[in-house]
Amino acid sequence: MHLGNKASSSRRRPFRAEGRRTARPSDLPRPVYDELKHNALIQEALTQLHELTGLTAKLCRPVCPKSKIQFGGRDAPFCRQVAALSGGCPVCLRLQTQLLHRLEGKLKPHQLCCPAGIIHLAVPVVVAGNHVATIVGGSVRLKLPSAARFACCCRQLGLDEHNGRLRLLRRAFFSTPTLTPSELAAALRLLQTLAQLFALAPRHLEAGKAPVPEPARVAAVKRFVGDHLAEPITTRQSAQAVGLTNSYFCRLFHESTGQTFHEYLATLRVEAAKGALARTLQPISEIAFAAGFQSIPDFNRVFKHKTQMTPSQYRRNRGRATVA
């Protein structure tokens, strides 16, 4: 049976950690994965996703599988029938391996389509910049099944029209759930949201449990920003200060803090300005430049966006609060 090449038996290291360093399996926060895997609410969410969209989804370790990941009877009917023919589908394993390898290079959702037109996808679960788990799924198709595609698959499987399993295989092929592109995009967005919620779950499982430590380079860049807050600071400068590429730095910072570097910088500068407005009688323009803003209009716009007040209103309100 041949739907594609067999997956390579070689195993790659599981994922990239910060910078150019690649984490060893011993570096993985295994307790976090175990907590997620055995969380009843997470398993229920994945079950409800399947019932709502037809999309299968399973939480797996962030390493390449040795054998095809099974979905507990929720695989596409066609995949189950193909597996029954030969004891396993090498194309499914190959696609799942490719998806997890792609996550090594970029921690974002990836998807691939097999020769039978069935979608396979992988969505990373990231906690404090660490890839702790992967939601692997799919088992739906984008294009309506056709007799021509079925005939092509049969040829690749080496089946002729007299094969006794052909009728079952045909029925399974045409019964695989089909989503429109917009439905698949919506399901993928929902899966991304679930991945983000799953990443928060370990924080609430045990009271008093030590949090996942902040990546050292994120902590370093925060110190860099604190030391140079009054100066013009760009994302590229901050990335270079901790030895990272611009794109990787942006992703690492967002995954660790939940906000972009520009959002963090703006928040820090507004907080510095708020403190000066409340404690001193300095002119607002001096406060703005001391906090690192490059123009008064920019300062006013960002300050109002963050506080819902102008700097003058904030100073007056703080003054009344102090008197009271």
Per-residue pLDDT of the chain (324 residues; tens, 9 = 90+): 334 443 333 344 333 333 333 344 334 445 777 888 878 888 888 888 888 888 888 888 887 777 777 776 677 777 777 777 655 567 777 888 888 888 877 888 888 888 888 888 889 988 877 888 898 888 888 888 888 888 887 777 777 766 667 788 888 888 888 888 888 888 888 888 888 888 887 655 444 445 557 788 899 999 999 888 889 999 999 999 889 899 999 999 988 888 899 999 999 999 999 999 988 899 999 999 999 999 999 999 999 998 999 999 999 887 654 444
Amino acid 86: pLDDT: 58
The pLDDT value recorded for residue 30 is 56
pLDDT given for residue 211 in this prediction:
54
Q: Which of 209, 210, 236 is nearest to 224 (CA)?
A: 236
Closest CA to 131 of 247, 269, 23: 23
How far apart (Å, rounded) are the C-alpha atoms in residues 169 and 85? 10
Domain ranges of the chain: 15-205, 216-323
DSSP 8-state code for residue 44: H
Q: Give the pLDDT score at 87.
A: 53
Cβ atoms of residues 122 and 34 within 8 Å: no
Distances (CA, A) of 285 to 77, 130, 295, 298, 312: 67, 41, 9, 11, 11
The CATH code belonging to domain 216-323 is 1.10.10.60
Distance CA 130, CA 256 (A): 8
Region for 69 from its dihedrals, namely left if φ exceeds 0, alpha if ψ lies in -120 to 50, beta otherwise = beta
pTM for this prediction: 0.50
Name the one residue in this structure whose structure tokens are 């983000």.
196
Helical segments of the chain, H only: 30-37, 40-53, 77-86, 90-105, 147-157, 166-175, 181-200, 202-205, 216-227, 235-241, 246-257, 261-279, 284-290, 296-307, 311-323
